[in-house]
Amino acid sequence: MTYREALSAGIEAALNADPRTFLMGEDVGRYGGCYAVSKGLLDKYGETRIIDTPLCESGFVGVGIGAALGGMRPIVEIMTVNFSLLAMDQIVNTAATLRHMSGGQFNVPVVFRMACGAGKQLAAQHSHSWENLYAHIPGLKVISPGTHTDARFMLAQALADPDPVIIFEHVMLLNESGEVAGQAEAPMEKALVRRQGQDVSLIAYGGNLHKAQAAAGQLAAEGISAEVVDLRCLRPLDKATLLASVAKTHRAVIIDEGWHSGSLAGEISAIIMEEGFWYLDAPVKRVCSAEVPIPYPAHLEQAAIPQVETIVAMAKAVMEGR
């Protein structure tokens, strides 16, 4: 099935599993979801479970938070992470803080789903990767399904979590076909080694996971054994898994569609330096986006974001100790 269908199956399973769960967001009902993820669900579950909202991100995101406080299990869809900036106050100042500020009296079991990433020539206001902003915030959990199985099962894991969870779904994955396992592969907070290797760790997540895997394939043909680590969860980070991989391969390249400066890749690089410095045979490298609002023309857009060739070149550079 496609990644889109896997997401949809996950939503449907969640709606079936718990009557407190509902899906709310812009165009999720009658339109069928702007990326067609929730197509057909309105007919099946009705207006009280599949709720079309007006265009008011701060309002309906806050309503989702309030509904979670009131005992519901809302799935709030924000059309793209770019629009979530309008709701950032509610997510950061309310959802993320309530538990701590109330001395543990109130938790907020809400799940936010948002599309992210570039590659569809949608220009700067629809193509950004803001995962790092949310991964910066204590009180939030941030996950990113890079495989079809994760697309199918991470939502249920997020809903089972008593705290606010944000799920980032990369737009370039939606039409990809893939296998879905019968159950979740691991708890959502665990990073997984997707390909075993000896020479270099390629650390990626979400939409760039398959680029890392493709790069590993090309490197193998050239005699370089690359290990692919799928972070899956961006907050909290599964440091143990990524450090174990670096301890084994002694080299790391981090792939992240966020801008180079201030990227999540920078944080991971710092973790490796702080806790895995003595494992390293070469400086850690990052493959990130260029320091530019993502442009509209295809050739410039592709030049701005991580590519398989860049990952391969960077892996070769670290192999040579550059």
Partner 1 sequence: MSNKLHINRDHLLEQLKQMVRIRRFEEKCAELYSQQKIRGFLHLYIGEEAVAVGAMAALDEDDQVVATYREHGHALARGLAMGPVMAEMYGKTNGCSRGRGGSMHLFDNARHFYGGNAIVGGGLPLATGLAMANKQQQQSSIAVCFFGEGAVAEGEFHESLNLAALWQLPVLYICENNRYAMGTALQYSESEMNIAKKAASYGLQVAQVDGMNVVDVEAAVRKAVDAVRDNQQPYLLECLTYRFRGHSSFDGQLYRDKAEVSEWEKKGPVKRLVRWLTEYNHFETEEMDQIERQVEAEIAAAVAFAEAGEWEAVEDLCKDVYSPTPSGDAV
**Residues annotated as catalytic (active site), given as ranges:** 57, 126
Taking a C-beta distance cutoff of 8 angstroms, is the pair 150, 185 a contact?
yes
Could you tell me which residues come within 8 angstroms of residue 302 by beta carbon, excluding any fewer than 6 positions away? 119
Least distance in angstroms from the C-beta of 17 to partner 1: 6
Least distance in angstroms from the C-beta of 113 to partner 1: 16
DSSP string computed for 180-236: --SS-SS-TT--EEEE--SSEEEEE-GGGHHHHHHHHHHHHHTT--EEEEE--EEES
Q: Which stretch binds partner 1 (CB under 8 A): 61-69, 169-177, 250-258, 268-276?
A: 61-69
Site size toward partner 1, by CB under 8 A: 56
Based on CB atoms, which residue is closest to partner 1, 71 or 223? 71
Least distance in angstroms from the C-beta of 91 to partner 1: 11
Q: Candidates 162, 262, 283, 297: give the one binding partner 1 (CB under 8 A).
A: 162
Instruction: List the end-to-end C-alpha distance of the chain, in Å, as a whole number.
Output: 41
Q: Which stretch binds partner 1 (CB under 8 A): 38-46, 161-169, 193-201, 244-252?
A: 161-169
Taking a C-beta distance cutoff of 8 angstroms, is the pair 75, 45 a contact?
no
Based on CB atoms, which residue is closest to partner 1, 164 or 197? 164
Least distance in angstroms from the C-beta of 153 to partner 1: 5
Could you tell me which residues come within 8 angstroms of residue 210 by beta carbon, excluding any fewer than 6 positions away? 146, 173, 176
The DSSP letter of residue 115 is: E
Least distance in angstroms from the C-beta of 223 to partner 1: 38
Based on CB atoms, which residue is closest to partner 1, 120 or 190? 190
Instruction: Give the residue among 174, 167, 278, 288 at the shortest CA–CA distance from 232.
Output: 167
Q: Which stretch binds partner 1 (CB under 8 A): 33-41, 157-165, 249-257, 293-301?
A: 157-165
Structural Rg of the chain based on CA atoms:
19
Within positions 9 to 28, which residues make up the interface with partner 1, using CB under 8 A?
13-14, 17, 20, 22
Q: Candidates 31, 46, 101, 177: give the one binding partner 1 (CB under 8 A).
A: 101
Instruction: Give the residue among 122, 28, 126, 136 at the shortest CA–CA distance from 84.
Output: 126
Which structure tokens are listed for 246? 């670096």
Q: What is the dihedral sign for C-alpha 116, 145, 173, 242?
A: positive
Determine how many CB atoms are found less than 10 A away from the CB of residue 214: 16
Q: Candidates 156, 234, 305, 312: give the one binding partner 1 (CB under 8 A).
A: 156
Q: Is 85 in the site for partner 1 (CB under 8 A)?
A: no
Taking a C-beta distance cutoff of 8 angstroms, is the pair 152, 10 a contact?
yes
Q: Is 147 in the site for partner 1 (CB under 8 A)?
A: no
Least distance in angstroms from the C-beta of 64 to partner 1: 6
Within positions 39 to 58, which residues make up the interface with partner 1, using CB under 8 A?
48, 53-54, 56, 58
Chain residues binding partner 1 by CB under 8 A are: 13-14, 17, 20, 22, 48, 53-54, 56, 58-72, 89-90, 93-94, 98-107, 138-139, 141, 153, 156-158, 160-163, 183-184, 186-190
